[in-house]
Chains A and B, each alone.
Chain A
Amino acid sequence: MCRLFAITSETPLSPILAVEALDVMKEGHDGSGVGLFLRDLGGPFDEMKEAPILSGIFTEQGLRKLDQHMMDKGFMTKYKISIKVPKTPPPGVPKRDIYLIRAYELPEEWEQYTQDEIYEKLVEVRLELRKMGEAQEDMIVFSFWPDVIMIKEIGDPLTVARYLHLDRKELKARIIMAQGRQNTNYAINLYACHPFFLRGYSTMTNGENTAFIPIQEYLSSRNYPGYIGYQSDSEVFTHILHYAREKLKLGIDCYKHIVTPLQDDNLDLHPDADFLHHLKRTCRKLIIDGPNCVIGSLPDHSLFMVQDRKKLRPGVVGGKPGMYAVASEICGLDAIIPDRDKNKDFQPMHLDTVIIGPNRQEVQICRQTQPLHHLH
């Protein structure tokens, strides 16, 4: 089972903190990999919120291809973090040339585009780069998005974090999501490692989604270029989130109504029964079949956690105003926020979605049987 830890804090934190939480929760996971998602960045990136940041792993040759390509497109490097690693990686960690974190200036001709158009073009660029790297596996691209950094690698999370010096002072974020396992349900592949990212949305998941193939087929047939990949059954959670928010314009409290809708008897009693019946029918092909616990980050800097109907995966949220964390184990929470009021810890059950808003002042709990907040 994957170990998951996510934190949202008023003051920027080092990602090493989240990896340490993973380490505390180590019992039960195989430490086969680590995935990190950082948003609302601190340090030097705090000054460049609009600049898209490219995160990925490159070979020397891949980097040359990247530079040429980005130059042709009119992107200028604005800032970069150089991760210099020792010549010999620790056992279990592959040898890589470059771990890239690089912020770019947008091309001048993009000034004519609206914000939405720019976002779509950023998705396109990421997909182009990903495609360019597929044949020779010289470019692995995790994200290309303003104010977002992603790091993924195979190996024990803490070992990898120390090897990459993730405790460096220029790498800090107010929202961090960390996952401590290479996806082992399918082939070992960094693209199969959580968290997943698409157009501002990121999720990581505990468990296995047995309805993966039909959902993947449905998403792939939506004609949206970002719906590709699917090296992991959990990637569909990110894409469904994107679909629900961007294509259907639904609130986060509807997400659970899509992935694990209420059964009809309960649905009939819901104040928004009519709408939810329609939603359930029309999104039926997106119903997952867990057990799954999904933790995700939204573009508005909210953090959420949702349990599926089966509630067979652990998950807990706790903290104090200004700093809240969601984790798969309470010990992870204890390690990072020991001074919180533990009486207020909450373990979401089969009907719950937990949301920590951008102001990080409280934990909002949406029970699926409650009225919807934002119908449109």
Chain B
Amino acid sequence: MPSNTTITPSTLSVKDHLWQIFWNKNRCTLCGRCTAVCPVQAIELGVFRKRVIESPMNLTETPSTSFKVYYGIRQRTDPAYACIGCAMCNLVCPNDCIAPMRTDEADKLKFHINRGGTPRRRGGRRNDPGGILDQIKFIRISMLTDPALDAGRHEFELRTLLGRVLPPEEEMNALKTGDWIPPVREIYPLIIGAMSFGALSPTMWEGLQLGVTYLNEELKMPVRICTGEGGCPPRLLRSRFLKYVILQVASGYFGWDEIIHAIPDMKVDPCAVEIKYGQGAKPGDGGLLMWYKVNKLIAAIRGVPEGVSLPSPPTHQTLYSIEESVAKMIQSMYMAWGFRVPVYPKISGTSTAMAVLNNLTRNPYAAGLAIDGEDGGTGAAYNVSMNHMGHPIASNIRDAYQVLVKVGKQNEIPLFAGGGVGKNGNLAANAAALIMLGASGIQIGKYIMQAAAGCLGSEGDRCNICNIGLCPKGITSQDPRLYRRLDVDKVAERVVDVFLSFDSELKKILAPLGRSTSLPIGMSDALGIADADAAARLTIKYVV
């Protein structure tokens, strides 16, 4: 920087940035791939002037100074072009000569990502890699009186129920009288949670659907996937594969015109309808699809103009009261499919979840409750919502289960837990812990993006630009130049890998606990933790 340059408040050095590019001149071939691939143009061609002192090895010539020019990579320091740490430069570099490094102290960049008075918005998860789920251990190992089972060879029934399960007396009675019995789906306990067509690229969406279909049709694993708020491609709506899909309706009602019109043509019923009231990543805030991603296709499916941001309201529209609206919406959705499709709400983790749950216990149509904890991921949200709002899932799901135990409705209103499950890669252990705390099933979103498509995002604030359509892996982009990087079939293959390995790991957890005939929902006696306060809060054993 020249000495006479004006320093603005937002003038930052490379050192002030969260991610700092290290570039090795000696190995650089100047091929330009890194600058071409960088999704945010954080690096550019640098022309460097370098002073060279030449000291001759004799006494006749005097040392001289010359100036040379060389070319290389320069990191831009304007906050608008800050490096996001995605390391695509490293991925494409033929000589491994470039890589982003994380700063060794709190960065100064975060004080400046609000130009124009707009706070930072991003995708990803809460930037906190820790969490209670990884600390929970499975301590009730079957020994002697009930032998541990063989995870590889024993038969296991790892299924869960989605739908309102009547109390046995009522169900027996309804069978006799022919009364309506709520629809219940028997599904795999790991569900691919709501990620909309729009938030995800077409290749990612298709890959997920393909993988789920393969799991169902070829491997007989009844895995289900939720559409998220953004509708569903018309062909899928009219296909026999719709039964593997949970349709989501949220406060923006995007895509529902298309869905409603397709009902008469549907060959099969969808698995269920999820009414989204909240989301763990941005509790109390509506969905958000930023204008970058609203191209012609997305606009058509959602029934909106192209190129405008689509912020959904924080709540569903209502004329009288929200409770009435919830009840009516659940009922209307049941009616749309002739009371054959389970309808359940999804809320963000909150200390008020118990009030919601108590309401649902009195609503005979509520088919379940999905709770999304503070670590849930998103395609776009305000940074402050992601980092500071929301309730951890573990205690929320435990409280909810215990409320149900109190009123005797455990497993009758199945609870589905989501939000940061497997965020450190321990998917099966986290899922099993939540199931034993009381969840009937687990929803994952970010995990499947990471595992099935190679999403780079992390809780160390890496990448996280899902919101602006520049996903360097093509997972959350609507730009064909980016999403063609993602091979649909390979994504499907990875989805299958993920579910198969999850299934094996879950068995490796359940078999030593002596469980095989049913999913161990609420088997809290199997859990322990080396934190007395957490143990007391979750009513599990304190073990050291």
Chain A residues in contact with chain B, CB under 8 A?
1, 184-185, 207-214, 217-218, 221-223, 243, 247-250, 260-261, 263-264, 275, 278-279, 281-291, 308-310, 312, 376
Beyond A221-B405, A221-B407, A287-B517, whether A214 also contacts B165 by CB under 8 A is no
Q: Judge whether B147 is part of the interface by a CB distance below 8 angstroms.
A: yes
Expressed in whole angstroms, the Cα–Cα distance for A218 and B513 within the complex equals: 20
Q: Judge whether B88 is part of the interface by a CB distance below 8 angstroms.
A: no
Expressed in whole angstroms, the Cα–Cα distance for A375 and B405 within the complex equals: 29
Contact: B411 with A278, CB < 8 Å?
no
Q: List 28 A-B contacts (CB under 8 A).
A: A1-B145, A207-B145, A207-B146, A208-B142, A208-B146, A211-B520, A213-B523, A214-B410, A214-B520, A217-B410, A218-B405, A221-B410, A222-B408, A248-B169, A263-B155, A279-B172, A281-B171, A281-B186, A282-B165, A282-B166, A282-B171, A282-B172, A285-B410, A285-B411, A288-B517, A289-B520, A310-B149, A310-B517
Q: Judge whether B515 is part of the interface by a CB distance below 8 angstroms.
A: yes
Nearest B residue to A219 via CB reads B408
B438 → chain A, closest Cβ, in Å? 9
Expressed in whole angstroms, the Cα–Cα distance for A312 and B517 within the complex equals: 14
Q: Judge whether B175 is part of the interface by a CB distance below 8 angstroms.
A: yes
Expressed in whole angstroms, the Cα–Cα distance for A263 and B169 within the complex equals: 22
Interface positions, chain B 109-159, Cβ under 8 Å from A, are: 140, 142, 145-147, 149, 155, 157, 159
Chain A residue contacts of B172, Cβ below 8 A: 248-250, 279, 282
Q: Judge whether B455 is part of the interface by a CB distance below 8 angstroms.
A: no
Chain B residue contacts of A185, Cβ below 8 A: 145
Q: Judge whether B426 is part of the interface by a CB distance below 8 angstroms.
A: no
Chain B residues in contact with chain A, CB under 8 A?
140, 142, 145-147, 149, 155, 157, 159, 161, 165-169, 171-172, 175-176, 181, 184, 186, 405-408, 410-411, 513-518, 520-525
Expressed in whole angstroms, the Cα–Cα distance for A184 and B144 within the complex equals: 12
Expressed in whole angstroms, the Cα–Cα distance for A309 and B171 within the complex equals: 24
Query: B167, B172, B184, B520 — which one has the most chain A CB atoms within 10 A of its CB?
Result: B172
B363 → chain A, closest Cβ, in Å? 18
Nearest A residue to B222 via CB reads A264
Contact: B145 with A282, CB < 8 Å?
no
Contact: B515 with A289, CB < 8 Å?
yes
A206 → chain B, closest Cβ, in Å? 10
Contact: B406 with A264, CB < 8 Å?
no
B510 → chain A, closest Cβ, in Å? 9
Contact: B522 with A217, CB < 8 Å?
yes
Main SS of chain A's interface residues? loop
Chain A residue contacts of B518, Cβ below 8 A: 211, 284, 287, 289
Beyond A214-B522, A214-B523, A284-B518, whether A208 also contacts B157 by CB under 8 A is no
Nearest A residue to B170 via CB reads A282
Contact: B524 with A282, CB < 8 Å?
no
Chain A residue contacts of B517, Cβ below 8 A: 211, 260-261, 287-290, 308-310
Chain A residue contacts of B159, Cβ below 8 A: 264
B513 → chain A, closest Cβ, in Å? 6
Given A212-B525, A308-B517; 10 other pairs, CB 8 A cutoff: A221-B406, A221-B408, A221-B410, A247-B169, A275-B175, A278-B181, A282-B166, A284-B161, A284-B411, A310-B516
Nearest B residue to A185 via CB reads B145
B520 → chain A, closest Cβ, in Å? 7
Query: A185, A214, A223 — which one has the most chain B CB atoms within 10 A of its CB?
Result: A214
Contact: B146 with A282, CB < 8 Å?
no
Query: A209, A278, A279 — which one has the most chain B CB atoms within 10 A of its CB?
Result: A278
Expressed in whole angstroms, the Cα–Cα distance for A261 and B157 within the complex equals: 11
Expressed in whole angstroms, the Cα–Cα distance for A301 and B406 within the complex equals: 36
B133 → chain A, closest Cβ, in Å? 20
Contact: A263 with B157, CB < 8 Å?
yes
Task: For the complex of A and B, list the 6 residue pairs with the smallest distance between their C-beta atoms, beginning with the closest.
Answer: A221-B408, A208-B146, A210-B514, A282-B171, A214-B522, A287-B518
Chain A residue contacts of B167, Cβ below 8 A: 282
Contact: B168 with A211, CB < 8 Å?
no
B151 → chain A, closest Cβ, in Å? 14
Chain B residue contacts of A208, Cβ below 8 A: 142, 145-146, 514
Beyond A208-B514, A210-B515, A312-B147, whether A282 also contacts B406 by CB under 8 A is no
Expressed in whole angstroms, the Cα–Cα distance for A169 and B176 within the complex equals: 49
A113 → chain B, closest Cβ, in Å? 23
Nearest B residue to A206 via CB reads B145
A274 → chain B, closest Cβ, in Å? 9
A149 → chain B, closest Cβ, in Å? 29
Beyond A207-B146, A212-B525, A291-B146, whether A281 also contacts B155 by CB under 8 A is no
A234 → chain B, closest Cβ, in Å? 11
A179 → chain B, closest Cβ, in Å? 15
Expressed in whole angstroms, the Cα–Cα distance for A208 and B146 within the complex equals: 6
Nearest B residue to A275 via CB reads B175
A188 → chain B, closest Cβ, in Å? 15
B248 → chain A, closest Cβ, in Å? 24
Contact: B147 with A289, CB < 8 Å?
no
Chain B residue contacts of A287, Cβ below 8 A: 517-518
Chain A residue contacts of B175, Cβ below 8 A: 275, 278
Chain B residue contacts of A209, Cβ below 8 A: 146
Contact: B146 with A210, CB < 8 Å?
yes
A251 → chain B, closest Cβ, in Å? 12
Nearest A residue to B519 via CB reads A284
Expressed in whole angstroms, the Cα–Cα distance for A54 and B186 within the complex equals: 46
Please tell me which one of the listed residues A211, A260, A284, A376 contacts residue B165 in the complex, with CB atoms under 8 A apart.
Answer: A284
Nearest B residue to A244 via CB reads B168
Beyond A247-B168, A310-B516, whether A214 also contacts B408 by CB under 8 A is no
Query: A185, A213, A279, A286 — which one has the most chain B CB atoms within 10 A of its CB?
Result: A213
Nearest A residue to B522 via CB reads A214
A38 → chain B, closest Cβ, in Å? 27
Expressed in whole angstroms, the Cα–Cα distance for A285 and B520 within the complex equals: 9
Expressed in whole angstroms, the Cα–Cα distance for A217 and B404 within the complex equals: 10
Beyond A211-B523, A248-B169, A284-B165, whether A291 also contacts B515 by CB under 8 A is no
A99 → chain B, closest Cβ, in Å? 29
Chain B residue contacts of A310, Cβ below 8 A: 149, 516-517
Expressed in whole angstroms, the Cα–Cα distance for A340 and B181 within the complex equals: 50
Expressed in whole angstroms, the Cα–Cα distance for A243 and B169 within the complex equals: 9
Chain A residue contacts of B176, Cβ below 8 A: 376
Contact: B408 with A218, CB < 8 Å?
yes
Expressed in whole angstroms, the Cα–Cα distance for A160 and B382 within the complex equals: 73
Chain A residue contacts of B149, Cβ below 8 A: 310
Contact: A210 with B142, CB < 8 Å?
yes
Contact: A264 with B186, CB < 8 Å?
yes
Expressed in whole angstroms, the Cα–Cα distance for A256 and B521 within the complex equals: 20
Expressed in whole angstroms, the Cα–Cα distance for A40 and B388 within the complex equals: 68
A259 → chain B, closest Cβ, in Å? 9
Nearest A residue to B513 via CB reads A210
Query: A185, A211, A282 — which one has the most chain B CB atoms within 10 A of its CB?
Result: A282
B13 → chain A, closest Cβ, in Å? 58
